[in-house]
Structure 1
Amino acid sequence: MVSPMITEKVISNAPYAASAVTVIAGFTVKDWGVIIGVVLTFITVIVNWVYKHRQDQRESALFNQKINHHQKHKNN
């Protein structure tokens, strides 16, 4: 048997779900195109930032290795 507490939560949240479905159903193909474009642009920015950050870390590590190698040979 379903507890009364769960039933109350479902009933109290039903208008919000219905409103969300109504809004989503009202989107045109043009609206969906804009939404998808914005989301994909945001994802692209994040992915590019992550890869650039990793590239910067690799280049910094290589630079530090070269500096350390140069300093060791300079001291000898």
Structure 2
Amino acid sequence: MEKYTTGSAYSWSFATCFLGLLSLSDWALITGIVCTLLTCVVNWYYRHREYRFRVKKDNES
């Protein structure tokens, strides 16, 4: 049991140390970049699905 609690304690201490390294502005920038990339990926996915649907529909006609 001690093996798991020690590993967990080290993991959480590393995580809080990493979170403390960045300022609020840095986190806002990172969040903005991640949200922009996710929006791009979601838009591409649904445009690709729409394109495949239209191609399939045109071929059936």
| TM-score, normalising length: structure 2 | 0.80
| Deviation (angstroms), 1:26 | 2.8
| TM-score, normalising length: structure 1 | 0.67
The residue aligned with 1:30 is: 25
Query: Residue type of the partner of 2:31?
Result: I
Structure 2 residue ranges without an equivalent (≥5): none
Please give the alpha-carbon distance, in whole angstroms, between the structure 2 residues aligned to 1:54 and 1:21.
41
| Deviation (angstroms), 1:25 | 2.4
Q: Please, what is the CA RMSD of the aligned residues?
A: 1.5
Matched, 1:21 2:16: yes
Please give the alpha-carbon distance, in whole angstroms, between the structure 1 residues aligned to 2:28 and 2:3.
37
Matched, 1:7 2:8: no
Q: Classify the secondary structure of the residue corresponding to 1:54.
A: helix
Identity between Structure 1 and Structure 2 (%): 26
Runs of 4+ in 1 over 4 A off after TM superposition: none
